[in-house]
Amino acid sequence: MKLDSVLAEIEQEEQEVLFQEAFQVNDLESAAEAQRRIAWFEDKKKEIEEITKSQIEPFQKRIDKIKSWGEESKQEFIQKQTYYSNLLEQFIKQQIAEQVLNGKKPKKTISLPYGKIALKKQQPEFLKDESTLLNYAEQSGFVKIEKKTDWASIKSSCIVVGDKLYDQNGEEVPGVTVVEREEKFELKLDC
């Protein structure tokens, strides 16, 4: 028998044993066996992930190529769209200027068959030099000071008794209730 077929047979037997028997962990040997099985499952998951990646890779290259083609193909239309948008912007600005010259209140929206064009007032943009602005804010009293509890220091200087936290003077720390939690199970594999 070839090594590959022997390994395949052992793997098949292991799979059958893994799923047929009701496994119990009741000593170190069975705990080690459970961990070995978990490691085996982890290896199988990694194998499947690698196969999945290798199967997707040729398609991903095609998808990327199609997306790239789509972006390049749209550029011509984006440029033309921008050109016509600029023409419409110039047109509405010209219309507004003519209305103002004629002493009329400017109409800043024009309805067209395929939608509306409009000029909308925007809020100003503020370009800020943060360090200079901070100096001004400190001198003028426009600085926010955020108070925050130093929980790490409180916790390290206090003791837990029951569901209460007490400081070094034996006084209960208000606003804190201690809730004991169950131990958290952790599994680490060395593979």
Spell out the domain ranges in the chain.
Answer: 28-142
Give the CA-trace dihedral at 47, 50, 51, 55, to 10 degrees: 170
Asked whether the beta carbons of 164 and 15 are under 8 A apart, the reply is: no
Instruction: Return the CA Rg of the chain.
Output: 36
Phi, psi of 129 (to 5 degrees): -100, 105
What's the rounded Cα separation, in Å, for the pair 190 and 185?
Answer: 17
pLDDT by 10s per residue, the chain, length 191: 566 776 777 777 677 665 656 778 889 988 888 898 889 889 999 999 999 999 999 899 899 999 999 999 999 999 999 999 999 999 999 999 999 999 999 998 999 998 999 998 888 888 899 999 889 888 888 888 888 899 999 999 999 999 999 999 999 999 999 999 987 877 777 76
- Classify residue 27 by its DSSP letter: S
